[in-house]
Structure 1
Amino acid sequence: MISNIYSGGPIRRLNTSFRSTCIPRIRNYGTRSHFDSPFDHLPKRGPKPWISWRSTTFFFITGAALAYNETLFEFYAKVTDTSEDDDLLPMRLTYELKNLPIYERLAHPKPNEKWVQLKSWENLDRNILENQEYKTKKEEEYGRKSLTTTTLAQKGGFAIEPVIFHNTDTNEGVTILHVGYRLCGYPFLVHGGILATILNETFKRNASLSSSTTSTVKGDFKVENLSISYKYPSFANQFLIIKTKPVLGEGDGNKQISLESVIESQKGNTLVKSQAVLIDTGRESKRLNEGNKSWWKF
């Protein structure tokens, strides 16, 4: 019995049960040496934010200095300068245009492909290249000046006349044009409104060239519904390739046509996707007919 007591058998078990039921637990106090900092025992915080006051202040001062110094603006103006007289610029751009793979492929199509090459900006179906007889237009609207043929047709804008290829079998169209720095919104990026204008003109032109429509006058067509999706920034000072093809839709006929277009870069990257529904209003043909009647009355 004594051995059990001293060995801690029954008594130890008694003390354990008695302490767990009757005696409250006593809080254990931690000890530290005089070398320990009281801040070491504070709760740990999460990861530090990646933005600090030092970095924010540094970049703010650097940005303000560059803004007041206008170093970046001077560099951008120097890179995008088009004021110098470069008589060889149109020739150089024309040479680059004719060396594009898509131009070489469509300019020399396969025997079973019927691609017609046209050249101009406004109403590309009027000026004919290589003496090709195809829908030569003589209406008044084709000689009228527009924004793209006057204001934007200069160095830094549309320096050379675009080229269009039209397939007489599939009614597909491919337009190749060069965009300069004057067409930018943000630095080095072509303005979205310019891209929308290009698409709008391309849709109307392809509608007038299509064999499924009755009118051959571009001004007769109205873009009833237009959707544009910008997929990638369009950098300036390069050639843009606009590929357009018809899409079967409800209610399509002689007075309505559905088209879809894709703008690609020289490297083949998709920049913009767009779809449009055009309606033949006949307004330009009506105006031309009224003008001819008034002339005969006079």
Structure 2
Amino acid sequence: MPISALSTAEATTADAAPIKTLVEAITWEDSISTPKAPEPSALESELQQQLETLDIVKAHVADNTQWKRRAAYSLVTDDYRVHHLTAGTLRGDNKLGVSPALFQSLDESQVMSVLHIGLSMCGHPNITHGGLLATLLDEITAMTAIPNLPGKTGFTANLNINYRHPCIANQFVVAHSELTSVEGRKAFVKATLKTLDGTVLADATALFIAPKIPVSQIAEQLTLAKTQTAPATPQPEA
């Protein structure tokens, strides 16, 4: 259930705070501090350079009348990044090996992302695991739904996926999502995953719902729940 994987250059401290608060709420207060993300490897740097030369990326960069480029996961704090599924856990050589090229339409009704899926993301040999494709579809639909929801925060309520073609590993893929409708606290989105040559790998429809109560209150409730269920600290013997 992504909170937000998309950020804008215009995001204010107030905009970012609820997301950071929710991230903090699902982290133990007394947990051991975690290191920052490592520097890009030689393979990641090479793939990142290849990404920027792809025709679809260059075309979206040039088309500033319809698209604006966004930074993926910039609202995920450094200390939490290593625990974040797509920005941290699944990032790295032979996994999700690059920072996606991410574009949002000017009216915020569409999002397009180009990313690389490595060899270590397989189910069958050399075929990307369907669960990973589901994760990518969940992410891309969230990136479209959330900016259009009240409070710009929401959670996945439903995700329906059709797998159309095996996704061969070690290639760039294109994820695209489009807002279908907004009904109060509900946002309906459709999405596709394609190869660079246009082969449809999977498509999906999704429903996202904005919470009734403020995210800060959800964070407080989660923090309280974790505090109440945390194991007691052993006391030294007298």
The TM-score normalised by the length of structure 2 is 0.68
* Aligned-partner Cα distance in 2 for 1:87–1:257: 38
CA offsets 1:40-78 (integer angstroms, 9 cap, x no match):
xxxxxxxxxxxxxxxxxxxxxxxxxxxxxxxxxxxxxxx
Aligned partner of 1:148 in structure 2 is 86
Q: Amino acid of the residue matched to residue 52 of structure 2? A: K
Aligned partner of 1:265 in structure 2 is 195
CA offsets 1:187-242 (integer angstroms, 9 cap, x no match):
111000000011112222222223xx22223xxx2222221001111111011100
* Aligned-partner Cα distance in 2 for 1:164–1:193: 21
Residue of structure 2 aligned with 1:119, choices 63, 66, 71: 71
Q: Structure 1 residues 178 and 289 mapped into 2: Cα distance closer, same or farther (>3 Å)?
A: same
8 A Cα contact 2:165 2:200, kept in partner = yes
Q: How does 1:154-173 map to 2 (within 5 A)?
A: 154-173=92-111
* Aligned-partner Cα distance in 1 for 2:86–2:111: 19
* Aligned-partner Cα distance in 2 for 1:273–1:289: 36
Residues 1:255 and 2:177 aligned together: no
Unmatched 5+ stretches in structure 1: 1-85, 128-136, 293-298
Residues 1:216 and 2:152 aligned together: yes
CA offsets 1:93-151 (integer angstroms, 9 cap, x no match):
112111111100111115x32x221233xxx3xx3xxxxxxxxx589998683122333
* Aligned-partner Cα distance in 1 for 2:215–2:78: 10
Number of corresponding residues: 183
Residue of structure 2 aligned with 1:277, choices 201, 204, 207: 207
Larger radius of gyration: 1
Unmatched 5+ stretches in structure 2: 1-39, 224-238
Residues 1:225 and 2:179 aligned together: no
Residues 1:109 and 2:45 aligned together: no
* Aligned-partner Cα distance in 2 for 1:90–1:174: 21
Q: Structure 1 residues 148 and 155 mapped into 2: Cα distance closer, same or farther (>3 Å)?
A: same
Residues 1:97 and 2:55 aligned together: no
Q: Once the 2 structures are TM-superposed, how far is the Cα of residue 264 of structure 1 from its aligned partner? A: 0.5
Q: Amino acid of the residue matched to residue 91 of structure 1? A: S
Report which structure shows greater RCO (CA 8 Å, sep ≥6): 2
Q: Structure 1 residues 181 and 206 mapped into 2: Cα distance closer, same or farther (>3 Å)?
A: same
The TM-score normalised by the length of structure 1 is 0.55
Residue of structure 2 aligned with 1:185, choices 113, 117, 123: 123
Q: Structure 1 residues 236 and 139 mapped into 2: Cα distance closer, same or farther (>3 Å)?
A: closer
8 A Cα contact 1:140 1:288, kept in partner = no
8 A Cα contact 2:111 2:143, kept in partner = no
